[in-house]
Amino acid sequence: MNAAALRCAGLLIVAAMCAPALALDYRAAAAPAILYDTPSAKGKPLFVVSAETPLEVVVTLEKWVKVRDRAGNLAWIARSDLSDRQTVVVTAERASILQRAEDSAPASFEAVRGVILNVSGPATGSWLPVRHADGESGFVRRIDIWGR
């Protein structure tokens, strides 16, 4: 093996070892919150998110977190305005939430685009266990949601 091939192989190994560090982290807004253009309440307010809105964590500082919303907008939110809970938002026109994590399972309920669901456990393949605010629960296809 020549030097270039060895270097390439080494880079691939390092990249594979770093892959878990690239895992996405999502958090829900704890309450309605203002998002800013800088990590400071003195920054320009950009928009307000509703309570339970899922946000992708991009950068974490001591008191501020840079987040991305489902539209791809980047902004800063006070760390205290984020919850440890995870939520997802339905992106499909209509998502069937099934009683089991399998296509043949009966439906538990349906949710339309924009509905926020609480994540109730770890993903199982292409399925995610969720719970609606009114208590109904089941499994949603991960392709029908954003936030996880």
Domains of the chain, CATH where assigned:
23-81 (2.30.30.40), 87-146 (2.30.30.40)
User: What residues have CB less than 8 Å from 95, skipping those under 6 apart?
Assistant: 110, 111, 112, 140, 141, 144, 145
Residue 45 binned pLDDT confidence (cut-offs 50, 70, 90): very high
Single pTM value for the model? 0.81
Which residues is 1 bridged to in the sheet? Answer: none
Nearest to 74 by CA among 108, 104, 38, 117: 38
Whole-number pLDDT of residue 101: 97
Residue 10 has pLDDT above 50, yes or no: no
Tell me the per-residue pLDDT of 106-141, one tens digit each, with 9 for 90 and over. 999 999 999 999 999 999 999 999 999 999 999 999
Q: What is residue 63's three-state secondary structure?
A: coil
